[in-house]
Amino acid sequence: MAKKEDPFMLENYRFLTPLKKSYIDSFFKKLDNVSREFAIKRYVEGKTISLIAEEMDYTERSLYAYREKIIELWELYSKKERLEYHKQRIVGMIRRHGVIDHSKLLMNINLKRSGLRLNEFTDIINTLIATGEVICEIMPGNRSKRRYSLTRENVINL
């Protein structure tokens, strides 16, 4: 199994803006005590694993398990935030247009520029439909055309 690299934001914590540091600090607060202590020593203080093992009285090998756990949790934490951001963009786009075709929504979201993958886009749409935030109307015809609109409680009247 290949060793995962430290995430860029964690590895370069010392050089980040205060806003990004606070985002990472909120992630650290969600970790258990040992993982949090390791993460702070590794990413905030920039210490090597061998030095941390000495300070925490652990073997280096056992600390790699904590490191892997932190990397996996970071990926989940940061991906959740990213998908929530894109969910808000999609809802905002539907709100702006009222009723919008699937192809037009996909074009306006601009997957390439936003970094959102097609399967993530369809997952977000399916989640919005399943939770009842968005209504999907399938138009009859030789090619099923989908149109999206917000449910009544999600529409803002000005």
Angle at CA of residue 126, ends 97 and 80, nearest 5°: 95
Q: State residue 114's pLDDT score.
A: 75
Closest of 74, 59, 56 to residue 6, by C-alpha: 74
Strand, helix or coil at 101?
strand
The token pair at 59 is: 């073997």
User: Could you read off the pLDDT of 32-68 as tens digits, one per residue?
Assistant: 999 999 999 999 999 999 999 999 999 999 999 999 9
Check residue 44 and report its DSSP letter. Answer: I
Look over the chain and give the mean of its residue pLDDT values, rounded to a whole number: 86
Cβ atoms 35, 52 nearer than 8 A: no
Give the pLDDT band of residue 115 (cuts 50, 70, 90).
Answer: confident
Helix (H) / strand (E) containing 134: strand 134-139
Alpha carbon distance 99, 109 (integer Å): 15
Closest of 57, 19, 27 to residue 43, by C-alpha: 27
Alpha carbon distance 10, 24 (integer Å): 7
Q: How many CB atoms lie within 10 A of CB 63?
A: 19
Q: State residue 1's pLDDT score.
A: 43
State which of 92-96, 106-110, 136-140 shows the largest mean pLDDT. 92-96
Query: Helix (H) and strand (E) counts for the chain?
Result: 8, 3
User: Could you read off the pLDDT of 76-93 as tens digits, one per residue?
Assistant: 788 877 788 889 989 999
Structure-model confidence comparison of residues 116 and 122, the more confident one: 122
Provide mean pLDDT across the span 3-31: 88
* Domains along the sequence of the chain with CATH: 8-80 (1.10.10), 81-154 (1.10.10.10)
